[in-house]
Amino acid sequence: MPPAARAADVEGAPPGLRLRVLSLNTHALPVGFAPRTRERLGLVARHLPRLRPDLAAFQECWTADSRRILLEAGAAAGLRFAWHRRRVFGGSGLLLLSRHPIEAVGFRRFRVPGPPERVDQGDFLGGKGFALARLGGPLRGLLVGVTHLQASYGGRGYLAHRTAQAAELGLALADLPDAVALAGDLNTEPAGLPVALLRGLARLRDAAEEAGRPEPTTQALRPDGSKPARRIDYVLVRGGAGLGLRVAGLRRVLELPEPLSRGGWMRPSDHAGLLAKLEVRPGTPDAEASPPAPPLAEAIRLLLEGARHDEARRRAGLAATGAGVALTGLAASGRAISRRVLLQGLLGAAAGGTVVAAGGTAEFAAEAAAFRDLAAQLVARLPPGSSPGAGSGILPSGDEPDRGAPPVPRGSRR
């Protein structure tokens, strides 16, 4: 992780430097899981010059084609510096473009990365995590982050997973002195535990709140209101290292349906983008109010509950196999079934039992250990006098906090 910026590092920046930060979940899934990906990404590419971002943080760029489209469009729009992972599996789906030099980037895959048996959902194989980039030039002293937390998949939950991921990211940022601009899809509404925990641990402010624009970022998917629009995408900021950040504005972008080349209309994504305008104040400490103390006790309880549920997840892997076999049989019977449901069924049939039989047990054990370790780190941050200690039922006897190390930034890459 980058060292603290010195005053001399930021004194050369122009007073009142503006920084435009774009965040978008692109919904660029492999063929069969998202409609007309190439055309939709073409819409995003077409708008980049008009939006004039200085930083663009994209999520769900799962395919090489989607990354190529955005990299080329970004370079044409002046975003010449970029970071992403080229892996087919474990690539994270994250893409960061910058107008300013990227001096170094650190990436960490979440220690609780999603259910390994649910290959049809993709979070585990996708390698979700977070990247932190150190910028150069007049913005030295600013860390730019991009992340994407575990999805909920139609109300199935995974709150413990998202809480663990938020805790890991929040702990990585908590003791760093740098200013931070973090963008991404947190799959959690503002009052949710993962958002409150991340903001509290890392002392982050919600740009949408400060700009007076706390609006939904996803579409309402059902007319009856059973799946309403939600605000789950964020730009979060804090000042530090002699570098202040003031939110000068925020608005939704890339949210309206547009005509496609082969006919029809479609939104660029199933999420709206966010464009935040930040004012950088070199040499000025962050004077904005800090978020309230993080809800540590509730997070600790939930993380330990997640550890206890790992054996139930093993049984869920077997259930996924049965469901996949049933869906495959339904398709063979000739009854109507959507391509997406069929693909999910086939993946579930192939993966559920296989993961459990060939190494899934080790994954569940590693996840349980990660849940317990993150809980221990949060216990260490409880106010004096309120730490339960080992043997109290909050932590198993003998568990000790292991803070680990933040990801070490490496050179940027296109």
Percentage of the chain modeled with pLDDT above 90? 53
* Domain CATH code at residue 246: 3.60.10.10
Higher pLDDT, 293 or 389: 293
Higher pLDDT, 118 or 314: 118
- Residue 309 clears pLDDT 50, i.e. is over it: yes
Q: Does some domain include residue 123?
A: yes
Residue at which a domain ends, from 253, 282, 311: 282
- Residue 326 clears pLDDT 70, i.e. is over it: no
Instruction: Give pLDDT, residue 293.
Output: 84
- Quick one: average pLDDT of 308-328? 58
- My answer on whether 57 and 203 are in the same domain is yes
Q: Does some domain include residue 350?
A: yes
Q: What is the pLDDT of residues 388-414, one digit of tens each?
A: 544 444 544 333 333 445 565 655 555
Percentage of the chain modeled with pLDDT above 70? 71
Asked which of 173-187, 198-212, 264-278, 375-389 is least confident by mean pLDDT, the reply is 375-389
- Quick one: average pLDDT of 128-144? 93
- Residue 8 clears pLDDT 50, i.e. is over it: no
Q: Does some domain include residue 409?
A: no
- My answer on whether 76 and 161 are in the same domain is yes
Instruction: Give pLDDT, residue 312.
Output: 67
Asked which of 147-161, 208-222, 370-384, 400-414 is least confident by mean pLDDT, the reply is 400-414
Q: What is the pLDDT of residues 222-265, one digit of tens each?
A: 555 556 889 999 999 999 888 899 999 999 999 999 988 788 88
Instruction: Give pLDDT, residue 275.
Output: 98
- My answer on whether 165 and 311 are in the same domain is no
Higher pLDDT, 223 or 301: 301
- Residue 369 clears pLDDT 50, i.e. is over it: yes
Instruction: Give pLDDT, residue 395.
Output: 47
**Pairing state between β 55-61 and 17-28:** parallel
Q: Does some domain include residue 45?
A: yes
- My answer on whether 267 and 354 are in the same domain is no
Instruction: Give pLDDT, residue 155.
Output: 57
Instruction: Give pLDDT, residue 344.
Output: 59
Q: How many domains does the chain have?
A: 2
Q: Which residue has the tokens 């941050």?
A: 381
- My answer on whether 186 and 265 are in the same domain is yes
- Residue 140 clears pLDDT 50, i.e. is over it: yes
Instruction: Give pLDDT, residue 292.
Output: 76
- My answer on whether 31 and 174 are in the same domain is yes
Instruction: Give pLDDT, residue 180.
Output: 96
Instruction: Give pLDDT, residue 86.
Output: 80
- Residue 387 clears pLDDT 90, i.e. is over it: no
- My answer on whether 267 and 339 are in the same domain is no
- Residue 330 clears pLDDT 60, i.e. is over it: no
- My answer on whether 108 and 49 are in the same domain is yes
- My answer on whether 130 and 219 are in the same domain is yes
- My answer on whether 110 and 205 are in the same domain is yes
Q: Does some domain include residue 403?
A: no
Q: Does some domain include residue 55?
A: yes
- My answer on whether 209 and 345 are in the same domain is no
Residue at which a domain ends, from 259, 282, 305: 282
Q: Does some domain include residue 408?
A: no
**Domain limits for position 357:** 296-379
- My answer on whether 227 and 333 are in the same domain is no
Q: Does some domain include residue 361?
A: yes
Please state, rounded to an integer, the average pLDDT across all residues of the chain. 81
